[in-house]
């Protein structure tokens, strides 16, 4: 995975730009300030006057794009990622839900071999508030500030950040890593960026039960001696055992993945951990 993160003024293409969702999100991202330079689609249809190319290689050659947002059906996500990285794209954001796990495993290995970065699957996207966003993070929850934000859940993170913005606290960078069990970028992968970023003073984690991502992050905080304050929400205290959750990654194995396991690990790493959104917001704003 590339050690450097995407620049706010990066040239971005949209794979699947002429579809209904592709068109909507392309225009929304561009209106926000994202440097959308073209799109990829088999159909030659106008989307805000942006050029449409038949494949990523042609798009990259013509525009110099270094990043892509793929807005395609679940079974087309893997081919879109492979096409993008083969064309030299270094950051791919995939917003589609329902990507097959075996496809995600293949994508993760391919991206690593290409020294690229994949955000997804099933992510609301990423944003440098006030400058650019890739995906559909809500504008009402975005505001320039000094909080680095990472989240599994889109809707939980929208609410957390909306309340923080109402308290005058915005974000330096917001990364939705997604809630799938196999994903391109995990919490711990982003830690070096936030540690080195001069625009980030505090790290806010929006986590949830299931998987070991929060425990993995806690270990990385200790190993990397991450020195900035960390505030974490671990949602799911009231979840009943045996009930299917909305996120494919919300799986508990033994004592790993529970609220207690995550809280213990993060607290041991020096983070302040909360089970309610308002408690987290009040602590960050204090």
Please say if 193 is a catalytic residue. no
Query: Cα dist. 2→81, 184, 195, 243, 258 in Å?
Result: 16, 12, 16, 38, 31
- According to DSSP, the residues that pair with 153 across neighbouring strands are none
Give the chain's length.
Answer: 286
Q: How many CB atoms lie within 10 A of CB 174?
A: 27
The widest CA-to-CA distance across the chain, in whole angstroms, is 55
Contact status, residue 127 vs residue 115, Cβ threshold 8 Å: no
Strand order through the sheet with 91-94 = 52-53, 36-40, 12-15, 67-70, 91-94, 117-119
Catalytic annotation, pick one of 109, 162, 193, 247? 247
For residues 153 and 210, is the Cβ–Cβ distance under 8 A?
no
For the annotated catalytic residues, the residue numbers are 247
């Amino acid at each position: 995975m590339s050690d450097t993160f995407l620049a706010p003024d990066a040239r971005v293409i949209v794979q699947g730009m002429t579809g209904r969702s592709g068109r909507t999100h392309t225009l929304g991202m561009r209106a926000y300030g994202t440097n959308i330079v073209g799109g990829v689609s088999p159909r030659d249809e106008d989307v805000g006057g942006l050029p449409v190319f038949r494949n990523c290689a042609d798009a990259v050659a013509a525009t110099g794009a270094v990043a892509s947002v793929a807005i395609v059906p679940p079974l087309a996500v893997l081919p879109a990622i492979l096409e993008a990285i083969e064309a030299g794209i270094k950051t791919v954001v995939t917003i589609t839900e329902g990507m097959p796990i075996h496809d995600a495993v293949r994508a993760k290995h391919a991206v690593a071999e290409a020294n690229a970065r994949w955000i997804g699957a099933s992510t609301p996207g990423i944003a440098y508030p006030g400058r650019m966003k890739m995906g559909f993070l809500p504008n009402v929850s975005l505001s320039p500030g000094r909080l680095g934000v990472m989240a599994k859940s889109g809707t939980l993170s929208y609410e957390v950040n909306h309340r923080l913005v109402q308290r005058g606290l915005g974000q330096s960078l917001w990364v939705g890593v997604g809630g799938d069990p196999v994903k391109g970028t995990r919490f711990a992968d982003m830690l070096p960026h936030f540690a080195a970023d001069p625009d980030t003073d505090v790290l806010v984690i929006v986590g949830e039960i299931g998987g070991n991502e929060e425990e993995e992050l806690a270990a990385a905080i200790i190993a990397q001696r991450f020195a900035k304050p960390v505030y974490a929400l671990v949602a799911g205290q009231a979840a009943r055992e045996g009930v299917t959750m909305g996120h494919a990654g919300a799986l508990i194995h033994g004592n790993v993945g529970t609220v207690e396991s995550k809280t213990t690990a993060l607290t041991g790493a020096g983070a302040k951990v909360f089970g309610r959104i308002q408690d987290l917001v009040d602590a960050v704003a204090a």
